[in-house]
Structure 1
Amino acid sequence: MRLVWTLVFALASGAAYAASPEDDYIAARDKAIAAIAAMESANAPVETLDAANEKARADLEQRLSTLLGPFTVKGFPAAGRINIESLSSSDVGFGMLDGLRHGTEDGPSIVASTRGLVERWLQSRAAETDADLKLPTSFDAALKLDAFYTQAIGSDAAFTGTLDFNLKTPDGADMAIARLGGWAQDVGPNYDQEIVVTLVKGNSVMIAEAPATPPVPRIAACDAVWTAADAAAQKLVKQATDDSDENTSDAADAAWAKGDSDFRACMGKNLRDNPAFPTLLAQAQALADQMAGK
């Protein structure tokens, strides 16, 4: 009898400490990253590195597909591709959110993940020593930051928010957050805006992005804000060149950054009274409802 109970206890303990599917995925991902880093240190040929990267990403993609289960959001492809674009820390697209992207680069797409994977990813970002990459561990707090979207679902451009939409959380969902913003590699007016919606439903997390429809209209008053800031910055650049003054050059960069921030603040304020706003809000709500299965 004692032997039976010993076996039962051992089996129960083993089950309690068994690795979860997320644990298995993270372990496989980290092992692949370490293997590629070792190959880079050994000066492996680029072709060899690329092949190893693609093979590892394909394996991780299959693991994620099993972990996440069927994807059934109407209007989006059932099959997804891994959101992480590279497993090499020296490449663009390294360190993106663990998940599968369903859709296209230029059209609407949804990155599907889990709350557990997102929270693990945020923990890794909270440990970053680079202030530009550091994110809070709180999921709710992170979703309000442009840097979250830049690092989670972007690769070669930064996301800057223009305004937040007030959504009605769809039935069955725990959270729905929608933002209007743009992706760019530089500061200045960006009318190529997208609607980004994050929906949390149980352990499921989905982040969708779709081109704003209709396109965001130009607002003359906001363009004027940027034009004035750009002129002031250009003047500082000329002064820095003439005087070989680094401080003046830094001041020019600060003027451009403030001009960009002021431009977006102007857009956020004025768009709410623009005839296009109700349609943009309806697009965001429809996307959230669609993700929730309504």
Structure 2
Amino acid sequence: MRLVWAFLFALASGVVFAASPEDDYIAARDKAISDIAAQESSNAEVEALDGANTKALADLEKRLSAILGPLAVKDFPATGTINLQSLSASDIGFGMLDGLRYAKSDAGPSIVATTRGLVERWLRSKADEDDEGLRLPAGIDEALKLDAFYTQAIGSDAAFVKTLDFSLKKPEGADIAVARLGGWTQDVGPIYDQQVVVAVVKGDRVLVAEAPASPPVPKIAACEALWTAADAAAQKFQQAYQNSDLKDQQAYDSANAAWEKGDGDYRACMGERLPGDPGFPALLAEAQQLADRMTGK
């Protein structure tokens, strides 16, 4: 009888302490990252590194597919590809959000799907970023309100910069729904290729969608004038810096300050004036419809 009880206890313990599919995924991902780092340290050939990266990403994609199951959002494919772009810390696209990306084309709308648990783990990993601008809070609700979340979660070689937040009606069944208008950039100044970005948390699922703004965001003369004036002032300081053989640090700093202020003033202007534009209701409707579809409405 003692052996029977010991066996039953062992079974029960195994159930309690068994690793979850998410645990297995994280362990496999971290091992792959470690293995690739070791190969890089030993000066492995580029072909070998690329092969190891591709093989590991394919394995992780299968694991995520098993965790998430098929996507059921109208106008999006049921199967996705891994959102991570690289497992090498030296590559662009390393450290993106663990999840699957669903899209019919590279240029069209896309959704990155993941779980609440994977997002929470990912956010914890971003809490100690050396760059203060890239640090993220542990709470999903707070993180979804920050440009830095989208920059790191679904972007690889550019920063997401918000133009404005949409006032969404939270879809039935959703725990969190956030929508914003913005664009991807590597510099200051107007971003004319704007995107509607919507994040929805429903139960254990977290979905982040991105779609080209339709209709395209119009240029607003008053906002354009703010940026044009700021850019002209910055260019004068930049020219002075160039004329000093790159020694006039004050001119250099003044140029950057003028660009930064102009960028901020331009975005504030767009955020204030765009809701009064005739095309704005269609942009809001695009965001709302996307959120509704993401929750199965």
Query: How many aligned residue pairs are there?
Result: 294
Q: Distance in 1 between the 2:11 and 2:49 partners?
A: 42
Q: Distance in 1 between the 2:258 and 2:126 partners?
A: 29
Q: Distance in 1 between the 2:72 and 2:248 partners?
A: 58
TM-score normalized by structure 1? 0.97
User: 1:173 is matched with which residue?
Assistant: 174
- Residue type of the alignment partner of 2:160: F
User: 2:231 is matched with which residue?
Assistant: 230
- Residue type of the alignment partner of 1:196: V
Moved over 4 A (4+): none
CA shift for structure 1 position 130 = 2.5
Matched, 1:19 2:19: yes
- Residue type of the alignment partner of 1:75: D
CA shift for structure 1 position 240 = 2.1
User: 1:215 is matched with which residue?
Assistant: 216
CA shift for structure 1 position 12 = 1.5
Matched, 1:245 2:244: no
Q: Distance in 1 between the 2:18 and 2:92 partners?
A: 34
SS in 2 for 1:198: strand
Contact kept, 8 Å, 2:25 with 2:60, in 1: the verdict is yes
SS in 1 for 2:132: coil
CA shift for structure 1 position 65 = 0.2
- The answer for unaligned runs of 5 or more in structure 2 is none
User: 2:184 is matched with which residue?
Assistant: 183
Q: Distance in 2 between the 1:32 and 1:250 partners?
A: 43
C-alpha distance after superposition, 1:138-175 (max 9, x if no partner): 21111111111000000111100000011111111111
Aligned counterparts, 1:250-265, within 5 A: 250-265=253-268
- The answer for unaligned runs of 5 or more in structure 1 is none
CA shift for structure 1 position 44 = 1.0
Q: Distance in 2 between the 1:268 and 1:130 partners?
A: 27
CA shift for structure 1 position 186 = 1.2
Q: Distance in 1 between the 2:264 and 2:169 partners?
A: 28
SS in 2 for 1:88: coil
Q: What is the RMSD of the two structures over their aligned residues, measured on CA atoms? A: 1.1
CA shift for structure 1 position 287 = 0.2
Q: Distance in 2 between the 1:174 and 1:190 partners?
A: 31
Aligned counterparts, 1:126-141, within 5 A: 126-141=127-142
Q: Distance in 1 between the 2:254 and 2:127 partners?
A: 30
TM-score normalized by structure 2? 0.96
Percent of aligned pairs with the same amino acid = 68
Q: Distance in 1 between the 2:30 and 2:116 partners?
A: 19
User: 2:154 is matched with which residue?
Assistant: 153
User: 1:267 is matched with which residue?
Assistant: 270
User: 1:40 is matched with which residue?
Assistant: 40
CA shift for structure 1 position 3 = 2.9
Contact kept, 8 Å, 2:93 with 2:156, in 1: the verdict is yes
Q: Distance in 1 between the 2:221 and 2:116 partners?
A: 42
User: 1:114 is matched with which residue?
Assistant: 115
User: 1:200 is matched with which residue?
Assistant: 201
User: 1:144 is matched with which residue?
Assistant: 145
Q: Distance in 2 between the 1:261 and 1:58 partners?
A: 41
User: 1:88 is matched with which residue?
Assistant: 88
User: 2:124 is matched with which residue?
Assistant: 123
Q: Distance in 1 between the 2:55 and 2:126 partners?
A: 26
Contact kept, 8 Å, 2:141 with 2:176, in 1: the verdict is no
CA shift for structure 1 position 264 = 0.9
C-alpha distance after superposition, 1:181-211 (max 9, x if no partner): 0011111111110000001110000000000
Q: Distance in 2 between the 1:112 and 1:258 partners?
A: 36
SS in 1 for 2:88: coil
Matched, 1:286 2:289: yes
CA shift for structure 1 position 89 = 0.7
SS in 2 for 1:272: helix
Q: Which range moved further: 6-15 or 89-98?
A: 6-15
User: 1:3 is matched with which residue?
Assistant: 3
CA shift for structure 1 position 10 = 2.0
- Residue type of the alignment partner of 1:221: A
SS in 2 for 1:161: strand
- Residue type of the alignment partner of 1:101: R
